[in-house]
Structure 1
Amino acid sequence: MHVPDGFINAPVSAATGVVAAAAVAVSLRGARRELAGAGAGGVAGAERTAPLAGLVAAFIFAVQMLNFPVAAGTSGHLLGGALAAILVGPYTGVLCVSVVLLMQGVLFADGGLTALGVNITDMAIVTTVVAYALFRGLVKVLPRRRRSVTVASFVAALLSVPAAAVAFTAIYALGGTADVPIGKVFTAMVGVHVLIGIGEAAITALTVGAVIAVRPDLVYGARGLAKPLELRTSPLAAPADESAPADEPAPATAPAPATAPVPAAAPAAAASAAPRRSARRVWLAGLAAALVCAGGISYYASASPDGLEKVAHDQGIDAKAKDHAAKDSPLADYSVKDITNPRLAGGLAGVIGVGATLAVGTGVFVVLRRRRNAGGGEQPGAGNGADNGRPSESA
């Protein structure tokens, strides 16, 4: 759904640029809290979010190269807003998708540079906000199990894609450069993107489910689903009453319950004292998956136009489309220039894209995390429980 230059006029493109810049600024602030683990239930796993957030951006870049057929002559690809929000948090998710869109526009001539604000508004902000709102609502009403997180991920991702199609139609109604009936644009965009949403939902649910299966503590949307810490004591271990004289027997006492909940402060203390599990294996597995997708599987992606391209051609939206300013760049159209072997040219471009996105994304999130630590800020567990809405009950 990358909008090229020329689809939207200059005033509306500038306005969406302002919206995108404001949303990114808000997300930078919110991501500092997410990366620091602020909020109820957010301590466990928070220290691992910064390095994983860059990986999520690189993974989304890679999977977006895998266009899948959805109808005759039409393909679709992952948007990634739902996946990013559920894995690393909504604010961090907006930044992840924004980094992907920036790298695609600058390096690969995918998505217009003047339309960058449109693309960030539509593909990063709308999808993330809609998906995470639906996800949180579903998690609250579904049984408190890990499987519910996967189900909620599927539904949220499914509906986020047609929501983005509706948002594009609204933007086009305000600033479209071609005289096209908006009703036809709306029907065509929503219709094809409902089908694309099924693919988005499947990819999102499979990825979230895979991470939850091995490391649920690394999934932002699953935090708080662990059972509370319990202290088990023996009924025979009841202490004697120290106030009784030494020469008198202690009064009879009721046996202690077999399982006694630990006071509220104990879980946090125990969590901080527990050794941290390394996320290195998950990080390496995710990077390997991204490289395989971008460097190998992308060669077999559908060559059919994606949903927006197909609708634009059929409805005449592309009548005033402009060539991309970076159309002659060495990596334009996801192919390394001057390499004649298409498999090698595309695979190498994909690997370069994964590496560049990983480097930029990780750099952004590491800087945010360090600034958060240097500035002090809220302590983990303070204040933002209502904002995050993360569950704190047992599974």
Structure 2
Amino acid sequence: MQLKDPSFTTSTTSSQTNETPSSFGFLPGIANEEDPATNNSSNPNKRTPGTSSSRPNNATRGSSECCSTQTVAVTVCVIVVLAIVVLAAVANNSSDGSGGRGGFFFLRGGSSGSRGGGGSCFPAGERVLLDNFSQVPIERLHPGSIIHRGGQILAVMKLAADGEDPLHRYNDSVFVTGSHLVQELGGWKPVGESDFATPVEDEQAPTFVYNLISSKHTIMINNTLFADWEEEEDFAENWGLESRILDRLNGHPDMNAPALSSTETVSEGAFQPGTPILLDTGTSVSIEKLEPGDQLQGDDNIVFSVMRLWIPSETMVYHYSMDSSVISVTEWTIVLDDDGLWRNVKHSSNAVAVGLAADGARAWYQLWTTKHQIPVEGGSVFADYEVLDEDDPVFSEEL
């Protein structure tokens, strides 16, 4: 899947050679420090500067005697054919089912994210460059922080390494799996296909790996731009999203769940720290203490990823009650209600709005599991992170 070129400006103070894989230049004054608890030094809605590359020069206009109607017609035909090819490629990318749909509610990895395992990720210790030029190990990043030229961090993902995507050392500095996309002078390509990457054979494979979802879908490490988990900006039409999800979960239209009232970006469903998740042993553990690979209650319901999410402050928080348990979740969380139907918590008679996310916990958590179900102490069952991808075929098979 082709990534959009963010067209970053090349530093004019650094020397560049043909062997340099990226053209971002040296960034002075970089400090190795922890991610600040609050990071307001950059506007998360700030747009990436427009491309600075010049357009191709217009062909020199010849004399009127040399300009024939036939030449003009041929030129127009060539342009039309090229336009058709480009439009066909775009249409194919947007409907190939490979995932990577933009927006914070379509969360499914493409070539930098694999449903079968850890996918394309970084081991712990790789330092991400933030907008204040500090470098923070990827596993210690806070959702909501701002990546240098990469936008706001929407999610920090911890995954189990699957061993099928070996580590490479890129540009003699960054350890990253071979299928991860990196931007070079010629465009985006998998790390494993780059001349600047070498397989790492003498390193023990990590148990866990990490990835990010950022608002601009890019990650800056060691002055090199990598793709995030989502990989592309393809904001889909949101109208009716909630109804379509619930229709698939329940197998028939749910007339009690209205469609979304707008096409604004939607926050992800999430849980507060301390939410007791049921394990296959019958015991429970707080959601923030789970690890990828843990077995949840249910047949082969294994945790694929533990995710820390950034939740907008205007998001409403609900208390969902079943039997003696009360679970705090955000308004977009989907639950298997006591009548046997899947629905959004804000449409459930068992849920009560208690305030905005800004008034609650700073950290919010979600899970991605093999069965796409999250069993909670007290008998409640919630849908996982992956369910909000409306194109996922698991609706009729797993839920």
Higher relative contact order (CA 8 A, sep 6+): 1
Please state which structure has a larger fraction of its residues in strand.
2
Same fold (TM over 0.5): no
Q: So what's the TM-score if we normalise by structure 1?
A: 0.24
Work out which of the two has the higher radius of gyration on C-alpha atoms and give 1 or 2: 1
Q: So what's the TM-score if we normalise by structure 2?
A: 0.24
Please state which structure has a larger fraction of its residues in helix.
1
